A and B are shown apart, each in its own frame.
Chain A
Amino acid sequence: MQSKRLEERANTWSPGFWAAFGGCGAVLVLGVPILNLLVPPNSAAAIPDYLVPLLGKYVCYALLALSLDLIWGYAGILSLGHGAFFALGGYCMGMYLMRQIGARGVYGNPLLPDFMVFLDWKELPWFWWGFDHFAWAAAMIVLVPGLLALVFGWLAFRSRVTGVYLSIITQAMTYALMLAFFRNDMGFGGNNGMTDYKDILGWDVHQPSTRLGLYLASVAALGLGYLVCRFITSSKLGRVLLALRDAESRVRFLGYSVTHAKLLVFTVSAVLAGIAGALYVPQVGIINPSEFSPGNSIEIAIWVSVGGRGTLSGAIVGAVLVNLAKTWLTGVAAETWLFVLGGLFVLTTLVFPHGIIGLFRQARSARPRRAAPVAAAEEQA
């Protein structure tokens, strides 16, 4: 009786939501392996092996978009350097994969990756220690982006850097990292980055079954990431975030620490982005400094705004649709892609500010209300 919003809040973890979540999950988890393995390859519905890593890449992008939406859509923090956290997670995974190559490299050095032998290095730098163990690499995938976000966020939010100024310094951060990673003597392979991976956890990365496994791991990460974001945005913290997005100083006078609130979601978001990057690297087979380029980070913001910022499902939809369009268009007319991307951004900003999901909701609320528990559950997202 109190409000529609309260009912929706009660619906956050309702059976209707779980049905929708489980349904989408089942399509992604079961659909792709069935179409890949069981359907005859010459059938129109079959998913050929080479498409599986591409789908996995989209899923990683969706997780990355989700991470940006958490801070931009809900807390009003527009990070235009989120690609940096993605790339750092990717580099941590890349380092693990390089160590797995072992003596199978071109130079056959059992300890040093090829690019170090080429640079005539004699020892493994200290920051490469431990990366031959997956557990260590996995810990770094979470810790490196998380700690950078914690330190960077603490400095920025404590000094009350907001709005466009924050966006600018996040761009500067990712640009600075890109320049640093381009240097050969940083010890991360310079502008060539790291590639020629052989296996992950003992499985050959080129095997279709490994790629299917990586795709499924990405879907699992996306599902978990979605649940984490939904938990945060539907909690009281979610309301604090919405409140500070609209009237930051007022939240301070209520006694909430705006710095802590922003820092928490910023760090969680960076960790999600790092995990996305780590899953991305073995599927595309390379990581290099161009992942840090400012343009990449801006593109993430476009995915989110096209899908619908402030709606978790919108971030996922936007990332997948824009990247599908990119894959298709760069094949047909590559030179037009940047114009289309820019046009999309202008269009969403001017014509449909709530993105694709916003358009759907508008269309639905225009029709007479029906009792649809699944729809009500999605609404909260």
Chain B
Amino acid sequence: MNTPRLPAEPLLYLNGVTVSFDGFRALNSLSLIVEEGELRTIIGPNGAGKTTMMDVVTGKTRPDAGEVFFRRGTDLSRLDESEIANLGIGRKFQRPTVFENLTVFENLELSLADNRAIWRTLFARLTPYRRDRIGSVLARIGLSEQGGTPAGSLSHGQKQWLEIGMLLIHDRTLLLLDEPVAGMTDRETEETAELILDLAKDRTIVVVEHDMAFVRSLGAKVTVLHEGAVLAEGSLDHVQNDPRVIEVYLGR
């Protein structure tokens, strides 16, 4: 058993979370603690429950059993997606999902930290401050030139970056990144690693990833999932030397 040390301030706390789909246990009594300010990578073979774990945290899937807490005492299993998002939990999907018919600029505008009440959006105005903020994020994700282009005409890598920009512009407390470098070139992967390390300085990030070189470049604590539960936890070197991990995952 690998018991995590009791953290001073757990940001995300999953205890005994179980999710079944037609008898298949996607999560099997999963327990996981992510501390405030931590950068955590989660790896595991296909079907280990990585994406389901993210679905549970962001409210897309309700757990059949177990507890999911954010900060102290906010029960995420009772909230829906938009309420969870407004707590400051942002998610980047496996497949980049940007709003293809809106421009890059408008995609960021919708992601701005702002009052999300629908009737407010009817009268919302784009202040110069917000315009500047969008401009600075455009610069940071390297899309300054593409502000006016519809997001649908961006390249795959650019869409991934825009999606990270959409998380970045809203000052989220916790970012969940599902395979952020999938389909990227080596160069883009390196740049993404740098960007994530930079972002991790002032927020908590959980990254799910298959790319081992990328996981190594992040140099963060690794959690290995297997059959819906935590198999091992620790530094990448530590888990890579764990015989059980080698057997189920790395040895294949």
Q: Does A206 belong to the interface (CB within 8 Å)? A: no
B92-115 interface (Cβ within 8 A of A): 93, 97-103, 105-106, 109-111
Q: Does B123 contact A (CB under 8 A)?
A: yes
Which of B110, B111, B166 has its CB near the most chain A CB atoms (within 10 A)?
A: B110
A378 to B82, CA, bound (A): 34
Q: A260-B118, A261-B118 are in contact. Are A239 and B109 (CB under 8 A)?
A: yes
Number of interface residues of A (CB under 8 A): 30
Chain A residue nearest in CB terms to B134: A2
A245 to B110, CA, bound (A): 14
- Residues A239 and B110 in contact, CB atoms below 8 Å apart: yes
CB-based nearest A residue for B93:
A250
In the complex, per-residue mask of A1-15: 1 if CB is within 8 Å of any chain B CB, else 0: 011111000000000
Chain B neighbourhood of A243, CB < 8 A: 99, 102, 110
How many residues on the B side are at the interface (Cβ–Cβ under 8 A)?
A: 35
In Å, the complex CA distance between A152 and B13 comes to 38
Cβ contact within 8 Å between A2 and B105: yes
Q: With A243-B110, A252-B82, A255-B86 in contact, is A236–B122 under 8 Å at CB? A: yes
Q: Are A256 and B148 in contact (CB under 8 A)?
A: no
Q: Is there contact, CB below 8 Å, between B81 and A242?
A: no
Q: Which of A219-241 contact B (CB under 8 A)?
A: 231-232, 235-237, 239-240
A236 touches B85 (CB 8 A): no
CA A208 – CA B147 in complex, angstroms? 56
A5-B148, A242-B99, A249-B60 known; A257+B121 contact, CB < 8 A: no
Contact residues of B between 106 and 165, Cβ < 8 Å to A? 106, 109-111, 116-119, 121-124, 147-149
Cross-chain contact of A256 among B109, B121, B149 (Cβ < 8 A):
B121
Cβ of A247 under 8 Å from chain B: yes
Q: A176 in the interface, Cβ–Cβ < 8 Å?
A: no
Cβ contact within 8 Å between B100 and A246 = yes
Residue of A nearest to B148 (CB): A3
Q: Please judge, given known A-B contacts A3-B103, A6-B148, A242-B101, whether A253 and B85 are in contact too, CB under 8 Å.
A: yes
B235 to chain A, nearest CB (A): 31
Contacts of B147 in A (CB 8 A): 2-3
Cα distance A236–B102 in the bound complex, in angstroms? 12
Decide yes or no: A255 and B116 within 8 Å by CB, A3-B147, A232-B122, A249-B81 being known contacts: yes
Contact B148 A4 (CB under 8 A): yes
When C-beta atoms are compared, the residue in chain A nearest to B146 turns out to be: A3
0/1 interface trace, chain B 65-102, chain A, CB 8 Å (1 if under): 00000000000000011100110001101000111111
Partner of A240, one of B91, B93, B110: B110
Q: Pick the residue among A6, A246, A254, A255 that contacts B101 (CB under 8 A).
A: A246
Decide yes or no whether B58 CB sits under 8 A from chain A. yes
CA distance in complex: A243, B148 (Å): 16
Of the residues A4, A252, A264, contact of B80 by C-beta under 8 Å: A252
Residues of A within 8 A of B119 (CB): 260, 264
Query: Are A5 and B106 within 8 A (Cβ)?
Result: yes
> How many angstroms between the C-alpha atoms of A15 and B64 in the bound complex?
58
CB of A71 closer than 8 Å to a CB of B: no
Interface status of A270 (Cβ within 8 A of chain B): no
Cα distance, A240 to B109, chains bound together (Å): 10
CB-based contact B124/A255 at 8 Å: no
Interface pair A255/B103, CB less than 8 Å apart = no
Q: Could you tell me which residues of chain B, from 32 to 82, have a CB within 8 Å of some CB in chain A?
A: 58, 60, 80-82
In the complex, which residues of chain A have a beta carbon less than 8 angstroms from the beta carbon of B124? Answer: 235-237
Which residues on A sit within 8 Å (CB–CB) of B60?
Answer: 249
Are B122 and A258 in touch, CB under 8 angstroms?
A: no
Interface contact A237-B80, CB-CB below 8 Å? no
Contact B121 A240 (CB under 8 A): yes
- A245 CB to closest chain B CB, in angstroms? 8
Q: A2-B147, A2-B148, A253-B85 are in contact. Are A237 and B118 (CB under 8 A)?
A: yes
Give A257 to B86 CA distance when docked, in angstroms: 10
In the bound assembly, the distance between CA atoms of A231 and B105 in angstroms comes to 20
A262 shortest CB reach to chain B, Å? 9
* Residues of chain A with a CB closer than 8 A to B100's CB: 246-247
**Complexed CA–CA distance, A16 and B215 (Å):** 55
Closest residue of chain B to A235 (Cβ to Cβ) is: B122
Known contacts A235-B121, A264-B119: A254-B111 contact under CB 8 Å: yes
Pairwise interchain contact B82-A247, C-beta atoms closer than 8 A: no
- Output the least CB separation between A379 and chain B (Å): 14
Which residues of chain B are near A253, meaning CB under 8 Å?
58, 81-82, 85, 90-91
The one of B58, B82, B118 that contacts A264, using a Cβ cutoff of 8 Å: B118
Point out the residues of chain B lying under 8 angstroms from A257, CB to CB. Answer: 82, 116-118
In the complex the two chains form, is B82's CB within 8 Å of A255's CB?
yes
Taken together as a complex, chains A and B put the C-alpha atoms of A254 and B101 apart, in Å, by: 17
In the complex, what distance in Å separates the CA atom of A254 from the CA atom of B85? 6
Nearest residue (CB) in B for A7 is: B148
Choice from B85, B105, B118, B170 contacting A6 with Cβ under 8 Å: B105
Shortest B42–chain A CB gap in Å is 19
Give A324 to B83 CA distance when docked, in angstroms.
Answer: 49
Q: Please, could you name 12 A-B residue pairs with CB atoms under 8 Å apart, sorted by A? A: A3-B105, A5-B103, A237-B122, A239-B110, A243-B102, A246-B100, A247-B98, A252-B82, A253-B58, A255-B116, A256-B82, A260-B117
Interface residues of B (CB under 8 A from A): 58, 60, 80-82, 85-86, 90-91, 93, 97-103, 105-106, 109-111, 116-119, 121-124, 147-149, 166, 170
Instruction: Kindly list 8 other residue pairs between chains A and B, CB separation below 8 angstroms, not including A237-B121, A247-B100.
Output: A235-B122, A235-B124, A239-B110, A242-B99, A242-B101, A242-B102, A251-B110, A257-B117
Which 9 A-B pairs give the minimum distances between C-beta atoms? A3-B148, A255-B85, A252-B81, A260-B118, A236-B124, A237-B121, A243-B99, A236-B121, A255-B86
